Each structure stands twice: as structure tokens, then as C-alpha cells.
Amino acid sequence: MQGQCDPQGVAVKVCHFVASTGLGRGDAFVYLVNALANDIEVVLVAPRNARFREMVDKRIKIHEYKSINTRMNPLLLFELYKLFKRINPDIVHTHFAKASEIFYLLNRFLGFHHVATKHNPRKGRIYNKIDHVIAVSNGVAESIMHDNVKVIHNGLPEIELAHMEPRDDVYMILAVGRLEKIKAFDQLINECSKLSFDFLLLIVGEGSERAHLEKLTKDLKLENNVRLLGFRYDVPSLMQQANVVVVCSHSEGFSLVIIEAMFYSNMIVSRNVGIAAEIFPDILLIEDFNISEKLQEVHDHGDEFARCFAEMKSRYRTMFSIENIAKEHVGYYKKLSG
């Protein structure tokens, strides 16, 4: 099957490779792969029974591998070698460190164009060895030790929602992310205990910190103010109902929550992490971990913050649509394969 032509007439066949069975609710690579199928031929290599399989557009052929999914398993390497040979793409695009390491090793014998996306600034020395790297933010780009790095942000499809007004019976604060130390939800709960107004803090996500966060909530006597909602599919609707969305992580490669909030929320404030470091005005940034101070300001001076948030949305909202992000990738692929 020949590569599908993009609007400028260049045939490109790109094989995306991910070595994880599930990546949480922020499966940005799936949104990208689906959008790319509008312009180029896309195939996907993934482990058998990947949990994101049903999210993938039906136009995209999924090649599932069966071997035990460890980096140096010789049976896995042999199976993948034969699979990539059979697919014969113009470009292999790997996501996350594990897939990038595996394909970097295989590509010594395959010789395909290889591009890898780095999604966070914390780990992944493999990206220093790969010739062509996409970083999802400037902060991630700075963690790569060579200059052949292209910054292409993550994007999301925007869905239509029935309009919902924010709650007016209680001030609703929303945070979304894995319940892990890096998300600093313990800091958030501690800071909310200092607020002078009645609030309801909803935290969406699941993870190893749940028991610790539940105990902290009880110790601070905030059982009526803090709810851990677990994994949810209705985050956009929750954002519409919330008075403010908070991103308080120690570190972020990008933060899809920020883009979702730009699409659906009434207000967002964030620590200076991920994409917030590039696009947020100072008034919407949380200094250090002074979360309660910032939330108090938003509560007391809502109109001023609303104007700044509206200006930011007007400037950046379209830029992060998945259609625009896909077009950036197609242009990059053309340059690489040409």
C-alpha cells in the first residue's frame, strides 16, 4: 500500500510505535495519530491488548506484538524487527523512552528515519542519542543534550458540550492528574486548609498516593471539603462547573490539563511548569507553592483574573487544536523524509 498523499502531494507513510499498554487519560499520542490519518498513511505498532486500542481511529491499522514486553528480550526484538521490515514505513515515530530505546537498537539494522517524542524533562538519556527528537515544550527541549530538537506542542480535540454554569452554592476547586508525589496534591490539600472561604476541592485521578491523601484530608478535618474522585471521563464537564482549575505539580513536561482548561474551564492557575511557563501571564502563575495565596486572590478579584484568562484563551486556544498540531507534524515528516 502506497503512502497517502498529504495536501501538498508528498506521499508519506509513518509508523508510530508505543511500548506501553496504557498511558492514563492523557493519551496525547492517540489524538495525534488519529488526526494525522486525515493527511498521511499512519500505522501503529503496540503491545497486544493495549488499553487505548479502542481509542484508535478505524482507518489506522494496528500491528500488535505478542512477545514479553521487556527492552532486551531477544524474542521481542526479533518479532519487532520482522514487523517493521514488513511495514516498511518512510518514518518510525516512537513515543516515550521504552519504545525509543527498543527501536534505536533495532534501527541499527533497519536504517529507517527515526523521530522520537520526549514528553517530560525528567528522564530518558536515549533521546541524547537519537538524531531527530520532538519535544512537547521548551522545558523538555532543554533536557536534551543536542540541538536537533523540534518543539511541537501536544494538542487535543475540542468536544462540544452543553453549556453549564459554575457552581454557585460553594466555591469549587478542581485538580486533575495521577495521584503521585510529582503532582503535589498533598501540598494542594495543605494549602486549601488555609483558605478563608468555604470551598470544595475535587481531585480527579488515581495512583499510589491515594491512602496518604485520604489520611491527610482526615488529619486536617477536611472530609467535607476534599473529595478524591478517582479516574473520570467527564473532566471537561467538571471543568465547566468548577470556579477554578489548579495545576500544582513539582514538574510537568507539558500538561494536557492546561489545554483542557483553556477549552472548557472558567479559570486556571498553575505553577510555572510545562506549557504554563511559555504562555501564562504572571497573574495566572503560582509563585513557588503559595497556592492558597493565589486562590484567595482569584476568589476575591475574579473579574480581573477572568479578563486575563479570556485574553490568554483568545491568543492560544486555536494553536493547541489537534488539527493544527497534526499539520506541524506532517510538515516535519516531509522535511525529514525529503
CA 162 to chain centre: 25
pLDDT digits (tens, 9 = 90+) for 266-322: 999 999 999 999 999 999 999 999 999 999 999 999 999 999 999 999 999 999 999
Note the pLDDT of residue 4.
53
What mean pLDDT, rounded, does the chain reach? 92
User: What distance in Å separates the CA atoms of residue 263 and residue 273, rounded to the nearest whole number?
Assistant: 19
Regions of the chain where pLDDT drops below 70 = 1-10, 23-26
- pTM equals 0.89
pLDDT digits (tens, 9 = 90+) for 50-90: 888 889 999 999 999 999 888 889 999 999 999 999 999 99
User: What distance in Å separates the CA atoms of residue 205 and residue 248, rounded to the nearest whole number?
Assistant: 14
Note the pLDDT of residue 6.
47
Note the pLDDT of residue 122.
78
Note the pLDDT of residue 23.
58
User: What distance in Å separates the CA atoms of residue 191 and residue 175, rounded to the nearest whole number?
Assistant: 13
CA triple 41-46-47, angle to 5 deg:
160
Note the pLDDT of residue 25.
53
Backbone angles phi, psi at 8, to 5 degrees: -100, 10
Note the pLDDT of residue 105.
96
Residue type, 200: L
Note the pLDDT of residue 1.
38
Note the pLDDT of residue 69.
86
Q: At 336, which helix (H) or strand (E)?
A: helix 322-337
